Structure 1
Amino acid sequence: MSSWHETVKTALLGTDRAELPVQSSQGALGQFVAQLPGQDAAATLLTVAGAMALHQQTGWQPHQAAPPSPTPTQPDLPLCPPALAHQIEALLTSSNASLLPEMLAAFAQTGHRLPEHLLPILLEKGNKLWRIRPSILQVIGKRGRWLAGQNPTWQYASPEIDHWMGLLKAWQTAVPPKRQALLRQIRTIHPERGRQILEHTWKSHNGMVRHQILKILDINLSLADEPFLEAALDDRNHLVRRAASDLLAKLPTSRLSQRMQQHVAGILSWAPGRPPKINVRLPKHIPPAMLRDGVPNIKEEDRMKLRSRLLTQIINRVPLTHWQDLWQKTPAEIAQAAKNSAWPRTLASAFSTAAIRQKNAAWAEALIVASEFNTSAGRLVPLLPADRCFALMQQAAKQSTQIIRPSPLHIFLQHWQQPWSVAMGEFWLDLFAQHLQDANQKKAPDPAIGNLFRRFGQKCTPELAETAVTQLTNIPGLNSAWQKTITYVCQTLQRRQNLLAEIEKIKRNPDEQ
C-alpha cells in the first residue's frame, strides 16, 4: 500500500497531473479500496484518503493526563454563615463590583472562608481585578488554593506561587498583562519577592516591557529597591531610565535625591522683601550627571521655548525638606513666595509633583491653600490626613458652598480617595441637600456631579445611611435622573451597612454559624 505521503502529494498536484496511489491488495485497507465502485479519479482519491485516515486512528489511545493533586484534608478555615455568604454572592454576581474590595477586605479580617460554590466566581473576579487578590487569598481557604492550582487562569492564587520555583514558572508562562498583574499582587504582599522576580528575569525583556514592569515597583517602594533602580538609570532604553529616575525621586534619602540637591545649587534663591519671592536662574547647560538622573536633554535652541518644562523636571526631583533647611522657611511660606516669583505656575507644579512623590502632607496642604483651592491643586488632596482635609473643606466652604466645578469644594469631592468620616459625611449630605433644593435641579444632573455623588455613596461611612434617606429622599420636584442617583446612594449606604453589620457579628462571635 502506498504511503500517506504519496496520497497527500497526489492531492496537492491534482489527479490530472499525478497518478492515483496504487494500493496493495494485501491488508484490510487494500482489500477495501479494491472493492470501491468505479468513479472518477478525484472521488476515488478522497475515498482512499478518508479510509487511510480512519485506518491510522484505529487503536489510537488518548494521552493520559496526570491525575489532579489530592484535595486538602487538613483542617481549613471555618465557613462563614449562610446569610453573609448569600449577600457576598449577590455582590459577586452583580455587574457593579465597586463594593467588592471593601467587603472582601472587611471579611478577610474575620478568619472565615467562603463556601465552595462561590470559589470559581471569586477566583475569576481576581483574575480581572488584581487589587482584591490579597483579600481573596485570605478568604478562599485551603480548598480554594487547591482549586486555583487546577486552572492555569487562576494560578495567581495557586499555592505554587508561595514558593520561588512556582512563582518563577507562573511568571515565565504568563502573558504580559497577566505578568504585570502578578507583579502588582506580589509587590503588595511580599515587596522583596516582587523585586527579586524582576531582577531574575530583567534581561529577558525588551525595552518596552521593562519600562512597563519597572513602574510597578512604585507599590511598596523602599530603599531596598534603590540598588536595582540605580542600575536601571544606565539602561539602554530612555523610558526605562526615566521611570527609574521618577521612582528614585520618591525616596528623599536615595542617592539620586542627594545628588539632585547638589545639582540645583543656585537655580532657586530666596529673595526677602514685602512680599518675599523666589528667584529662578536656569542652568546654561545640563551636565551628564544631571542627565543621568532624569533631567531631560533639551537642545540649546529649544531651551527658551521649553524652559518651563526643564525647570519642572529639575525641581520635582529635589527633596522638599532641602528648601526648608536651605531657607529656614515653612512649606506655607515657600508656597506663598512661589506665587510671587516670575514662574508661579511652574514652581507650583514642580513642588506639587515633588509633594506627591514624597507623600508630604504638610507641603500638600500649603500648596492647596496657596492656590486658593484651584482645580490644579486637586491632585494633592489624597495626601491630606482626614482631619486636615475636613479643616480645609470647612475653610473652602467659607468662600462658596457650591459643589460644581470650579468651586473650591469641588476638588475635595472629586479627589478624596479615603472613606468619608461621620463629620465629613454629614458635611457633604448637608451640601447635597442644599444643592438638590435648588430649582435648577429639576433638570438632569451634570454627569460629572452625578458620578461624584454616586461615588460618595461608596465612600461615606454607612453609619449615615438613615441620615441620607432622611435628608435626600423628601426633596420635591426633582428630575427623574436625580431621583435614580439618590436612590442609588441611599441603597448603597444601606447595603454596605447591612453587610458590615453581618461581618461585625462574626468578629464578635467567631464560632457562631
Structure 2
Amino acid sequence: MSATPAPPDTPSSVSWEELVTVALLGTDRRTPPWLPPGREAPTALLDLAAVETVRRRAGLRPAPAGARPEPAAADPRPSLPPAAARRLAMLLSDRPGTAGGGRRGTAPDLMELLPQWLSLANERGFTAPPETLPALLDAARGRTDLRPAALTFAGPRALWLARLNPDWRFALRSAPGGGSELPPPTETDRIRRLWQEGLFAERVALLTALRVRQPAVARELLTTTWATERAEDRLMFLDSLRTGLEPADEPFLEQALSDRSRNVRATAAELLSALPDSALAGRMAARAGACVAIDRTQGEPTIVVEAPHECDPGMERDGVAPKPPAGRGERSWWLGQLVEAAPLGSWVARLGGRTPEEIVVLPVADDWRDELHAAWCRAAVRQRNPGWSRALLGPPSAAEAGGPGAVSLAERAKLLSTLAAAERAEWVAGFIATHGLSEAFQLLGVCAVPWAAPLGRAVVDALDIARDAGSYPWSFSGVMGLAERCLDPAEASRFDALTATPDETEDASPGAGGYWAEAFQRLTTTLRLRAAMREELGMP
C-alpha cells in the first residue's frame, strides 16, 4: 500500500476559516492550489485541519481563574432522622405510572405523597439533606404546587444552587425578596433603604412580610412612595394589604378610590367593602338597601327588588363596574355589585329584624331570587361571615342539595371555607350521606387534612355503596385519590375488610369487584405508608 503523498507547502496565509470553507463545500467542488488534486485531496485536507487544530489549541493562552463562589449560607435547622431521609429519597425517585386501561394497581402514588411529607417535615423544622437538593429542585420545577413547601424545606442551599443552574432560577423568583435576606423589623434604616432602592420582587416581599408583623409600618412605608409608583406596581402593593386588613387602613384606601388606574380603584373598593364599618360599606349599604325591601301586601312577606337604573359617578368611584360582561343585563349587574359590597349586618335591620336563616327563605318577587342570593353568597365569602354562610348553605340534607342560597358547587365550597374545620367536615359528611359522592369532590377539597372521623367514614361508606352497586371504581378515582391523601392514617385498619374481592352479582360490571379490591388495597397501603412517614419524622 503506497503512502499518501505529502501535500504541497501550505501558504502561511491559509486560515482556519478557509479550511472550514473548503471542508463545507467539498474538495470536488473546490480544490485550492495548496491541496493535491484528485482523490487524495480530502485526506490531505483533514491532515491539514488536524495540524491546524493542534496549533490553535497549543497557542491558546490560559485565562485567569474565576473567583470561587461563596459558600452557601449556614442552615441551623436539625438534620432529618435517617429513616426519614431514606423515605424522602424514595419519594423523589418515584415517577408517575403510565399504565393504561384505568387500572393503577395496589402501589401507592408516591409523588402525590411528597407535598404532605414536605409539610410534615417543615412542621417539624428539619432541613433537607444536601444530596437530595437537585432532585427536590427538579421536582419543584415541574410542579408549581410543590414550590412553597419545597423551597422552605430546602432552605438557603437551594437558593445558592439556583444561582448556578438556570433550570432552577424559579427558586429565586419564588423566594421572598428573590432569595435575598429581608432585614428584621428593628432595622428601620435598612427597611427604608430596601423599600426605596430594592428590586420590585424585594419590595413586594418586604411589604408582605411587614403586613404579617406590623401592618401599620407596612402601610406607612407604602404611603411614602405611592404617588410615584407605576400603576401595575400600585396594584400589586395594594393587594398586599389584604394581609392584616384593619380599620386603620381605611383613610389610605379611600384615597386610592381616586387613583388613575381602574384596577387600583376596584381593588381599593373591594378591600373597603370587607371592612363593615367603613364609609364605603355604609354608602353601599344605603344604595343596596334602596333596591331591596319587604312587601307585606301579598299575604306573606316577600322581598321585592328594584335594581338601579343607572351607574352614577359615585357608584363608579366606589368600585361598581359600569359595563356588564357579555350576556348580562346592566341592572342585574349593578345590583349584584351593590349587594355584594354591602355589609351583611345591614340586612337584618333593613328586612324587619329577621335572622339570616329567616331572610334567605323569604320568597323573592320577579325572578330576582338567584341574583340576590348569589350576591349574598359572594358577600359572605368576602366578609368571612360564618352566620350568613350557614344560612345560605342550609342543611346538608336539603332536597336541593345546596341550601336556599347557593347557586353552584363552587359557591358552596367557598361558603364552606368560612366555617371552622370541624363544622365544615360535619356539613360535607351530611351532604355525602344524603347525596353521595357524585357532587362532593369540590366540597372535599376545602376540608382540613386529615379528615375528621365522621367525614372519613362518610366517604368510605359512600365508596362501599358504589362498589355494591356493581359499577367500576374509575368514576370515583378523584375521590379515591383524595381519600388516600386525606383520610386519617389511624383509620387504615377499618378498611381491611374492603380489600377482599367480593362475589360478583349478575348485574355487576365484569371484573368490577377485583378492581374495587385493588383500589381499597391501595388505599390501606397508602394510609399505612402515611402513618410510617409521620413516625419517621417523630410526629405523634
TM-score (normalizing by structure 2): 0.68
Partner Cα separation in structure 2 for residue 285 and residue 205 of structure 1: 32
Match of 2:293 in 1: 269
Match of 1:161 in 2: 181
Match of 2:119 in 1: 105
Q: Equivalent residue of 2:345, what SS? A: helix
What is the 5 A alignment of 1:397-416? 400-405=434-439, 412-413=443-444, 416=447
Partner Cα separation in structure 1 for residue 299 and residue 450 of structure 2: 42
Match of 1:502 in 2: 536
What is the 5 A alignment of 1:75-474? 76-94=76-94, 95=96, 97-126=111-140, 135-136=149-150, 139-140=153-154, 143=157, 147=161, 152-155=169-172, 156=175, 160-163=180-183, 171-172=199-200, 207=232, 218=242, 229-272=253-296, 275-298=300-323, 305-326=329-350, 327-337=352-362, 342-369=367-394, 372-374=400-402, 376=408, 377-379=411-413, 380-393=415-428, 396=431, 400-405=434-439, 412-413=443-444, 416=447, 418-439=449-470, 441=471, 443=472, 445-446=474-475, 449-471=476-498, 473-474=500-501
Return the letter of the residue paired with 1:490: T
Once the two structures are TM-superposed, the CA of residue 197 in structure 1 deviates from its matched residue by 8.4
Partner Cα separation in structure 2 for residue 33 and residue 108 of structure 1: 67
Q: Equivalent residue of 1:264, what SS? A: helix
Q: Equivalent residue of 2:338, what SS? A: helix
Partner Cα separation in structure 2 for residue 116 and residue 102 of structure 1: 20
Q: Equivalent residue of 2:180, what SS? A: helix
Q: Equivalent residue of 2:290, what SS? A: coil
Once the two structures are TM-superposed, the CA of residue 247 in structure 1 deviates from its matched residue by 3.8
Match of 1:32 in 2: 12
Percentage identity across paired residues of the two chains: 24
Give the unaligned 5+ runs of structure 2.
1-10, 23-28, 34-47, 97-109, 184-190, 505-510
Do structure 1's residue 491 and structure 2's residue 531 form an aligned pair?
no
Change (3 A) 1:444 1:70: closer
Q: Equivalent residue of 1:278, what SS? A: strand
Change (3 A) 1:354 1:71: closer
Partner Cα separation in structure 2 for residue 166 and residue 149 of structure 1: 21
Q: Equivalent residue of 1:99, what SS? A: helix
Partner Cα separation in structure 1 for residue 86 and residue 171 of structure 2: 23
Give aligned pairs, total: 458
Give the unaligned 5+ runs of structure 1.
1-30, 508-513
Farther-moved stretch of structure 1 (424-433 vs 465-474): 465-474
Contact kept in structure 1, 2:77 and 2:125, CA below 8 Å: yes
Partner Cα separation in structure 1 for residue 246 and residue 451 of structure 2: 29
Return the letter of the residue paired with 2:71: P
Change (3 A) 1:340 1:262: closer
Match of 1:510 in 2: none
Partner Cα separation in structure 2 for residue 60 and residue 254 of structure 1: 72
Change (3 A) 1:81 1:360: same
Partner Cα separation in structure 2 for residue 316 and residue 153 of structure 1: 37
Partner Cα separation in structure 1 for residue 170 and residue 115 of structure 2: 20
Change (3 A) 1:360 1:114: same
Once the two structures are TM-superposed, the CA of residue 355 in structure 1 deviates from its matched residue by 0.8
